[in-house]
Structure 1
Amino acid sequence: MAVRLIVRTFSELCITVGTVIVLFVVYVMFWTGVQAESATAGQIDTLEQEWIDRPVPGTTAAAPPPKAYTTGKGIAVMYIPRLGRNWEWPVLEGTSTAILKKGLGHYAATARLGETGNFSVAGHRRTYGDPFKDFPRLRPGDAVVLTDGTTWYTYRVARTPYRTVPTDIGVIDPVPRRSGFDGPGRYLTLTTCEPEWGSSHRLIAWAHLDATQPVTQGKPPALTG
């Protein structure tokens, strides 16, 4: 009887543990994606409404000066055609865990979008919508397009993704180390975790600003070609 009780208890424990593991996998692979889809759509809707409410250049209302970025608030929308036809993600200010559940995050200590320096952005490789799941597919010349509602900024990837460790903060310097850039410029850095389901390393993609155009002229060639 004692042996039978032990076997039955152990079996029930295994079933319970197995159920918990399955539920956790479902949460990580499915539910976080559902949460991210809702959160990112809301962030993009909020940004687009703010852009609609801005004074139109040339009207009696003077265009306000650029606002300082606010932690947790959307600042731009990013498109990377290489990563998918419908790949579209909001960029928020900050890189905390809570912020990266809602979209991509801008490193607060780095340059503003389009300005001289290094506009640096982090994103999840897996979970919360898997924004950078296909990050290793990036190749030199690929377009990374952002808009802040007034201007389109088209950056071009400079090299294949670079693998490094999390403590290598020089990758987001104004002139990022190991990027191949040899002086000040208007740069973009993208960072994500490596390996795909881990975080022991980081993958880095560097890009340089290739072109800008007002949103009034329509989408840039990188998104319409």
Structure 2
Amino acid sequence: MSVRLIVRTFSELCVTVGALIVLFVVYVLFWTGVKAADATEGQIDDLRSRWAQGPVSAPAPQPTPTPRTPDGRPPAPAAYRDGKPFAMLYIPRFGKDWEWPVLENTGVRTLQKGLGHYLGTARLGATGNFAVAGHRRTYGDPFKDFPKLRPGDAVVLSDGTTWFTYRIDKPPYRTVPSDIGVIDPVPRKSGFDGPGRYLTLTTCDPEWGSSHRLIAWAHLDATRPVSEGEPAAFHS
């Protein structure tokens, strides 16, 4: 085989590999974002459609006896539907247009549509730790600006009837993926010293890797009926 043929073959391989790399970069940087935008809009439309079926501004019904279980306790609220959206999450520091749906579970397909609620963690606004995961990069880059979070920042969620305003307690904490204690009811290293109504946000670190996790913890600061308008956190 002549030197010329070897050089030409090697050059063609380089061009092919280069083209594949470019296509992969386009897929990662552009196409996953397009797919995420479509999927996220679909989840938001689903939520708003469901909320519209029971307007939060409707007059309050006349008092009726509260249903009770056989042992006299109020019935447990309906479980979140696996893989389905149930809330919207807003972080004003990330911009006035930043909004993402929260779906139940943190599976691969779920996180391609929005943010995911860790199975087994607390319900929104309840005592315990309401824990949420999201991509740092790809699929819309929801938590691209995660390191910008600062103590006192608001994280606002809505389930269609109530606004829940949480406040970040400390700068993002970096740990390894195996540190599952970050989503405990009282997360280790969070600074919380007892039961409360907490929020944990998690994402990957470094920005284009997944060797570590960035964690932000917050506490429930205020609630407000949706019928009374947006919370002050949106305007502060």
Q: TM-score surpassing 0.5?
A: yes
1:113 matched to 2:124 = yes
- Identity across matched positions, percent: 73
Task: Give the structure-1-normalised TM-score.
Answer: 0.96
Cα offset, 1:59, TM superposition: 4.0
Partner of residue 40, structure 2:
40
Alpha-carbon RMSD across the aligned residues, in angstroms, is 1.8
Cα separation, 1, equivalents of 2:61 and 2:12: 72
| Residues 23-34 of structure 1 aligned to structure 2 (within 5 Å) | 23-34=23-34
Unmatched 5+ stretches in structure 2: 68-75
Cα separation, 2, equivalents of 1:197 and 1:22: 16
One of 152, 170, 183 as aligned partner of 2:163: 152
Cα separation, 2, equivalents of 1:59 and 1:11: 75
Deviation >3 Å, runs of 4+? 62-66
Partner of residue 70, structure 1:
81
Partner of residue 54, structure 1:
54
| Residues 1-225 of structure 1 aligned to structure 2 (within 5 Å) | 2-54=2-54, 56=58, 58-59=60-61, 66-225=77-236
Counterpart of 1:52, as a letter, is: A
Deviates more, 1:63-72 or 1:197-206: 63-72
Deviations 1:89-127 (CA, angstroms, capped at 9, x unpaired): 000000001000000000011000000000000000000
Cα offset, 1:83, TM superposition: 1.2
Cα separation, 2, equivalents of 1:213 and 1:220: 7
2:218 aligns to what SS in structure 1? strand
May I ask how many residue pairs the two structures share in their alignment? Answer: 225
Cα offset, 1:57, TM superposition: 5.6
Counterpart of 2:226, as a letter, is: V
Cα separation, 1, equivalents of 2:208 and 2:104: 25
Unmatched 5+ stretches in structure 1: none
Counterpart of 1:4, as a letter, is: R
Deviations 1:30-80 (CA, angstroms, capped at 9, x unpaired): 1111111111111011101101112646247x8997421111100100000
